[in-house]
């Protein structure tokens, strides 16, 4: 009815246009008609299926569930504000209790002072935000009136404040140079400021049009900021503290580097330690943009720049953005303004990009050892300097068309769905940046080496042998006057000049890398001279430092702290020749129509950006004070303090251990000894095994009468069914046959399970069976439309899981077959080692994930591409899809995607059914997305097998999850409309591919894996580092209330997940002693990704293998089991040679490992929401609204499907070979 109403509106609108006089119809009316029709089409897009709605009769239970859902939604909607207030009060009361106990526990320590300050800041912010929200309207009126009144006198006021600032600045410099610091070279830096301003004016495009307000205010802001952070003690300490915290913050990247590149990652400093810092910083920046923090900071700085300097909205916003993001990303912030900007404004935008560096690469320079506090201050100080020099070299000659209001609309929140998705997108976005940095460094350093070799050869032909002629040699003279003007002492000027030349003609990355040895030399010199009486001797450019007990060589010599600080500021910008191409390319993409203007301005903007960097360095040199600026004394004090704290901590730990031993009573010691002996006793039990129908039991034929009755009943029932099958099904319709088959399957399954549990005595299997009912019930309760649930796909999905589980887990032939396949896959994967060894050398195994696991993905992707080309993969997919379609009654598209998800990933599978996506119902789309979340790609399965995860269980989990995903999907989001894809044939959908031969297919498969491998690596680095950061923060808060190991367990992300997912894990049938460990794995998988979760599971698998080897050694020597005891979460095992082996994290029972393998086998994590949405929106843009509405529900359904598969695995579990059972006793 609704659809007909929409159609009638369209028809009437079109009729009006035809009935009207053609002469009276204007172009505007025609355009309005077209626009209205487009809106109607868009409105109608999601109502396309409403005329063919299926009907079903609701039962009492579904009515009850619907009523509960409706009442819950109404309650939440009507009491939304009250619920928020209650939650806020609960959180506030909980934090106040925590804060009070923390103050009571360790008031007076440095950490408690930090917590106090942090709490005060948050309280002030919350109160201020509350006041603003309560009196928003009067506050806005007051601020607008103040802005209006100040705007009338802004020119006079700015000049007055400027005169006061410059007067104070001049007096301060005179007093500082003459009395306080007594640094005469500071005056040279002051002269440098004048010279650079004069040169910029001389080479100005329109000297007569120069407006001095932005120029002078730019210098004033630089001066204010420089005095604050360089010469005011509290300001310096604040930025020094910020620099240390930034360095500590970036050290969390080491966890990601170690995870991906192994324990020896630091041996390859640049590639494996510094580059991952960029990945982590990109992820954090993306998170800050998503939550809106970065936008607030950028807008605040832009507002200050605009009010003080009088620059336009676009110029100010871009300059502020350049402090945090790069020269190619910052213009995106003002993209709507670029087409209408004047040439002067565009020059300012480009100059700002050249004069600053991105926050992402700032992290890498800190990794080089460059002082973090000076890098941070240089980034901020260069923003007003860039605007000042830009307005001097290219003054404004036209009236700007940009408005102040544009500041409110320019910065958006981004397209990330959540924080995890934002982190993933930030990490993925870093791939291009990293690739760009790495290839440019390789190319430019190689060119520089070649250039230096050529110059040296020519120089030696002319007899120049004392000092080789190199690129740095030429630059050391070319930029010598500039280094002098910035205030560098003459003895260091040539070195600093060569660094500036490297930065200008190559890039700042190479320049900072060349400066790193000088920083290390200075630190070495300070450390040695503070401890020993030293003497120095020059050996060419090197310095040999002699001290008591040895000597140290400082390659390249020393640079004074003043020179290092000035060079740090001078190099802090993207102003190099190579960046011109990058800038033009980025701007041309944003505004293609103004390419000619960009080409005209880029050289002048590069020069302006370079001078802005020099100006910042001059101000740093003007306010230089060696005692404060470099902070050498502070560093020594920190080292001594840290050594002292380590000694105190060691004594305290030893004291606690001795106290615990002395306080232990004789009875407690005796009890502990008895427990150790019982644990080490070998459980010798006679095992009589019998095989029947492929099942293995540990007991004889049971005498239980109930079991015999079940066996006889099952046999007679099956004989009756087989004997009378034809008669039965001739008497009933086709649909009744399927119902009867399903009933027989479930009855047989129930009988088999009961008999199996009684025989095997695996009573936890009953809990797994209850878990299946629990997850099905939960899915039904939270169903989108419980009344419309069609139980056929649900029951048949679970039945197919059960049948497959019986075949591969509990029959001899099936179990041996799957083990044989797993063994062949393992041998197949080992072939990858040849490729890894060829590319990465003999040490590839030292970097397990990067050079051993990732090549497996490349190899698997290649093989899958070949199988797809040959048509073998299509046959397998179609066969599985046919079975699902005929049994479960799902559509062609749903069945094909479910089958394809067994072999390929969630981003590739939708390509198979691309023609159907536009016409699918929401329920079908939900099934497609759920299947992607509930399974893993065959290519990454190879990686998990290399972790030691049982290959047979991974294979069976991949297959079993396909029908489970369809079952839960149809329960979670039932079909309410008639599908238009049922009649489509699978043969018409799946093509062979466009490769011409097998070799091309293999090449394409390998190339396609590049993006996947790069994405996996950067996400692993980012998320592992993020996890380490979260764990450190949570541990810090826990330590404030005394939760310190080994007395208490540290509060970590895994700790919280171990309680959050504990009920879920118990329902899957995990033993309670292992439930928290498995719950933490599921939490990591859900909130981060399954790769990290499987890597964590690997440690438990290795522990089990190691423990089994140790117990085997004891058994071979006819000794009782190994002595064991727990130390926190770790298990200490004594070997036969009386050495202790630590099993980090302890052990997991065999049952827990198997269930975990199945539960983790899926892409259902928060970050995958963004991947799934991006792929689906790209393939079917018109259905974007539908995708966004169902994606979260699909992710939850995918998770439940994984849990359901784990329950089925737990239901069939029998301990075959596990020797860890004694640990549960």
pLDDT on residue 178? 64
Please give the C-alpha separations between residue 226 and each of 153, 178, 222, 378, 512, in angstroms, as whole numbers.
28, 19, 6, 9, 22
Distance of alpha carbon 908 from alpha carbon 249, whole angstroms = 36
Distance of alpha carbon 328 from alpha carbon 436, whole angstroms = 13
Specify the residue for token string 């972790």. Answer: 947
| Spacing of C-alpha 296 from chain mean position | 23
Burial classification of residue 1184, based on how many CB atoms lie within 10 Å of its CB (0-12 exposed, 13-18 middle, 19 or more buried): middle
Please give the C-alpha separations between residue 186 and each of 170, 181, 192, 630, in angstroms, as whole numbers.
13, 9, 10, 15
pLDDT on residue 693? 32
Question: Angle at CA 81, nearest 5°, toward 79 and 84?
Answer: 105
Name the DSSP class of 338.
Answer: G
Distance of alpha carbon 536 from alpha carbon 543, whole angstroms = 7
| Neighbour-count burial for 399-428, b at 16+ CB within 10 Å, e otherwise | ebebeeebbeebbeebebbebbbbbbbbbb
Backbone angles phi, psi at 915, to 5 degrees: -65, -20
pLDDT on residue 604? 92
Please give the C-alpha separations between residue 989 and each of 172, 438, 867, 986, in angstroms, as whole numbers.
78, 42, 17, 5
18: tokens are 């035809």
Backbone angles phi, psi at 1140, to 5 degrees: -90, 130
Specify the residue for token string 């536009």. Answer: 918
Give the residue extent of every domain in the chain: 79-144, 160-444+563-644, 470-560, 736-992+1000-1010+1179-1224
Asked if residues 286 and 292 have their Cβ atoms less than 8 Å apart, the reply is no
3-state SS class at 904: coil
DSSP 293-328: HHHHHHHHHHHHHHHHH---HHHHHHHHHTTTS-TT
Specify the residue for token string 């049994």. Answer: 887
pLDDT on residue 213? 85
Beta bridge partners of 1124: 1133
DSSP 385-444: HHHHHHHHHS---S-----TTHHHHH----S-SSHHHHHHHHHHHHHHHHHHHHHHHHHH
1092 contact partners, CB below 8 Å, separation of at least 6: 259, 1020, 1023, 1024, 1027, 1084, 1085
51: tokens are 């005329």
pTM summary value: 0.71
Specify the residue for token string 């369209």. Answer: 10
Which of left, alpha, beta for 107 (phi over 0: left; psi -120 to 50: alpha)?
Answer: beta
Distance of alpha carbon 1162 from alpha carbon 958, whole angstroms = 8
Name the DSSP class of 534.
Answer: -
Specify the residue for token string 């990454």. Answer: 940
Kindly report, residue by residue over 899-943, the tens digit of the pLDDT: 888 887 777 788 778 778 888 889 999 999 999 999 888 778 877
Continuous segment of H or E residues that includes residue 543: strand 542-547
Backbone angles phi, psi at 790, to 5 degrees: -100, 115
pLDDT mean by block of 10 residues, the chain; 1225 residues: 43 42 40 46 44 54 82 87 90 91 83 86 86 81 75 72 81 74 79 92 88 87 82 78 77 81 74 80 82 80 79 84 79 78 90 85 81 84 90 87 57 71 82 78 81 87 79 88 92 92 88 89 85 81 82 86 92 86 79 86 92 92 70 36 38 42 46 43 34 35 51 62 54 54 77 77 85 92 88 89 82 79 76 79 70 79 83 81 84 85 80 80 91 85 82 86 92 84 55 76 84 81 86 89 80 89 93 92 90 89 87 81 81 84 86 92 85 80 84 92 93 59 34
Distance of alpha carbon 614 from alpha carbon 610, whole angstroms = 6
Q: Are strands 550-554 and 690-692 parallel, antiparallel or unpaired?
A: unpaired
Kindly report, residue by residue over 1027-1064, the tens digit of the pLDDT: 888 888 899 899 888 888 777 788 888 889 899 999 99
Please give the C-alpha separations between residue 847 and each of 233, 492, 829, 940, in angstroms, as whole numbers.
45, 41, 17, 18
* Cα within 13 Å of Cα(610), Cβ side: 24
């Amino acid at each position: 009815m609704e659809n007909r109403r929409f159609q009638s509106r369209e028809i009437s609108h079109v009729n009006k246009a035809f009935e009207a006089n053609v002469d009276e119809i204007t172009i505007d009316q025609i355009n309005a008609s077209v626009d209205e029709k487009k809106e109607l089409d868009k409105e109608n897009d999601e109502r396309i299926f409403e005329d063919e709605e299926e009907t079903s009769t609701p039962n009492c239970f579904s009515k009850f569930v619907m009523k509960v859902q409706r009442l819950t939604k109404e309650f939440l909607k009507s009491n939304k504000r009250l619920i928020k207030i209650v939650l806020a009060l609960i959180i506030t009361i909980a934090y106040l209790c925590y804060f009070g106990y923390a103050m009571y526990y360790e008031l007076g320590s440095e950490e408690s002072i930090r917590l106090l300050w942090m709490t005060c800041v948050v309280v002030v912010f919350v109160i201020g935000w509350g006041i603003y929200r309560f009196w928003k309207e009067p506050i806005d009126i007051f601020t607008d009136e103040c802005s209006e009144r100040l705007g009338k006198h802004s020119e006079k006021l700015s000049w007055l404040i400027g005169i006061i600032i410059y007067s104070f600045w001049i007096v301060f410099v005179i007093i500082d140079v003459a009395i306080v610091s007594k640094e005469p070279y500071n005056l040279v830096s002051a002269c440098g400021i004048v010279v650079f301003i004069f040169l910029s004016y001389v080479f100005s495009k329109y000297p007569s049009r120069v407006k001095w307000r932005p120029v002078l205010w730019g210098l004033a802001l630089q001066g204010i900021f420089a005095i604050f952070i360089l010469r005011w003690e509290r300001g310096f300490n604040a930025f020094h503290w910020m620099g240390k915290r930034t360095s500590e913050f970036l050290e969390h990247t080491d966890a990601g580097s170690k995870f991906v590149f192994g324990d020896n990652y630091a041996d390859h400093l640049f590639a494996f330690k510094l580059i991952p810092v960029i990945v982590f910083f990109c992820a954090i920046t993306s998170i800050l943009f998503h939550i809106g923090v970065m936008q607030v900071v950028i807008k605040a700085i832009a507002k200050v720049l605009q009010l003080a300097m009088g620059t336009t909205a676009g110029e100010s916003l871009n300059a502020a953005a350049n402090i945090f993001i790069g020269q190619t990303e910052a213009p995106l912030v003002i993209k709507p303004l670029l087409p209408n900007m004047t040439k002067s404004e565009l020059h300012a935008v480009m100059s700002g990009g050249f004069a600053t560096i991105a926050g992402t690469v700032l992290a890498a320079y800190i990794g080089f050892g460059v002082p973090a506090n000076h890098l941070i201050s240089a980034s901020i100080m260069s923003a007003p300097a860039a605007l000042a020099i830009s307005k001097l070299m290219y003054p404004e000659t036209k009236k700007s068309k940009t408005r102040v209001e544009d500041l409110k609309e320019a910065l958006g929140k981004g397209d990330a769905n959540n924080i995890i998705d934002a982190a993933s997108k930030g990490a993925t976005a870093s791939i291009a940046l990293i690739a760009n940095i790495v290839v440019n460094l390789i190319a430019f350093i190689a060119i520089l080496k070649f250039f230096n070799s050529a110059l040296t050869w020519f120089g030696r032909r002319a007899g120049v042998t004392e000092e080789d002629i190199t690129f740095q040699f030429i630059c050391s003279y070319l930029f010598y006057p500039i280094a002098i003007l910035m205030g560098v002492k003459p003895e260091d000027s040539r070195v600093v000049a060569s660094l500036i030349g490297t930065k200008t003609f190559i890039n700042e990355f190479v320049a900072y890398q060349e400066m790193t040895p000088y920083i290390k030399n200075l630190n070495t010199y300070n450390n040695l001279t503070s401890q020993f009486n030293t003497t120095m001797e020059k050996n060419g450019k090197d310095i040999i430092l002699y001290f008591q007990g040895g000597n140290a060589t400082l390659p390249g010599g020393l640079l004074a702290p003043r020179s290092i600080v000035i060079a740090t500021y001078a190099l802090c910008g993207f102003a190099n020749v190579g960046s011109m191409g990058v800038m033009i390319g980025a701007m041309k993409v944003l505004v293609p129509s103004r390419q000619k203007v960009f080409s005209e301005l880029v050289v002048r903007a590069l020069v302006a950006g370079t001078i802005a960097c020099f100006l910042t360095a001059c101000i740093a040199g003007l306010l230089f004070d060696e005692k404060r600026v470099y902070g050498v004394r502070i560093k020594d004090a920190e080292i001594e303090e840290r050594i002292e704290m380590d000694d105190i901590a060691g004594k305290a730990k030893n004291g606690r251990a001795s106290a615990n031993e002395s306080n232990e009573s004789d009875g407690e010691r005796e009890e502990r000894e008895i427990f150790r002996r019982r644990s080490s006793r070998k459980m010798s039990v006679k095992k009589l095994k019998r095989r029947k129908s492929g099942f293995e039991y540990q007991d004889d034929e049971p005498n239980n009468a109930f079991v015999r009755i079940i066996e006889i009943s099952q046999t007679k029932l099956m004989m009756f069914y087989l004997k009378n099958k034809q008669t039965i099904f001739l008497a009933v319709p086709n649909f009744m046959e399927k119902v009867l088959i399903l009933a027989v399957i479930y009855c047989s399954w129930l009988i088999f399970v009961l008999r199996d549990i009684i025989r095997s005595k695996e009573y936890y299997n009953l809990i797994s069976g209850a878990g299946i009912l629990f997850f099905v019930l939960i899915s039904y309760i939270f169903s989108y439309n419980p009344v419309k649930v069609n139980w056929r796909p649900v029951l048949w999905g679970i039945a197919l899981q059960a049948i497959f589980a019986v075949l591969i887990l509990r029959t001899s032939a099936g179990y041996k077959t799957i083990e044989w396949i797993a063994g062949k896959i393992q041998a197949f994967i080992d072939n990858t080692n040849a490729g890894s060894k060829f590319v990465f050398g003999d040490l590839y195994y030292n970097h397990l994930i990067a050079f051993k696991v990732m090549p497996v993905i490349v190899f698997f992707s290649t093989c899958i591409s070949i199988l797809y080309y040959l048509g073998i993969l299509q046959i397998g997919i179609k066969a599985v899809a046919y079975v699902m379609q005929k049994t479960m009654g799902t559509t062609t598209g749903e069945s094909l995607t479910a089958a394809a998800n067994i072999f390929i990933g969630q981003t590739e599978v939708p390509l198979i059914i691309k023609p159907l996506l536009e016409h699918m119902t929401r329920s079908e789309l939900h099934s497609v997305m759920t299947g992607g979340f509930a399974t893993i790609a065959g290519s990454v399965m190879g990686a998990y097998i290399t972790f030691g995860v049982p290959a047979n269980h991974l294979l069976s989990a991949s297959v079993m999850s396909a029908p489970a995903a369809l079952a839960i999907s149809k329960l979670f989001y039932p079909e309410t409309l008639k599908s238009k894809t049922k009649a489509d044939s699978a043969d018409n959908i799946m093509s062979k591919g466009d490769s011409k031969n097998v070799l091309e297919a293999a090449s394409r498969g390998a190339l396609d894996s590049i993006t996947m491998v790069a994405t996996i690596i950067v996400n692993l680095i980012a998320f592992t580092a993020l996890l380490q950061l979260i764990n450190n923060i949570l541990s810090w808060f826990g330590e404030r209330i005394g939760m310190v190991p080994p007395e208490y367990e540290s509060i970590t992300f895994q700790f919280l997940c171990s309680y959050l997912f504990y009920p879920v894990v118990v329902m899957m049938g995990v033993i309670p002693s292992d439930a928290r460990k498995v719950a933490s794995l599921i939490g990591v998988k859900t909130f981060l990704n399954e790769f990290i979760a499987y890597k964590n599971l690997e440690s438990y698998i290795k522990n089990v293998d190691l423990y089994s080897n140790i117990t085997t050694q004891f058994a071979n020597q006819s000794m009782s089991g190994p002595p064991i005891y727990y130390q926190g979460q770790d298990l200490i095992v004594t070997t036969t040679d009386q050495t202790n082996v630590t099993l980090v994290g302890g052990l997991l029972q065999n049952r827990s490992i198997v269930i975990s393998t199945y539960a983790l086998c899926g892409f259902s994590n928060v970050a995958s929401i963004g991947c799934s949405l991006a792929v689906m929106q790209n393939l079917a843009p018109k259905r974007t609204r539908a995708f966004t509405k169902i994606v979260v529900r699909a992710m939850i359904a995918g998770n439940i499907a994984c849990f359901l598969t784990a329950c089925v695995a737990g239901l069939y579990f029998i301990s075959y070979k596990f020797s860890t059972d004694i640990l549960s006793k």
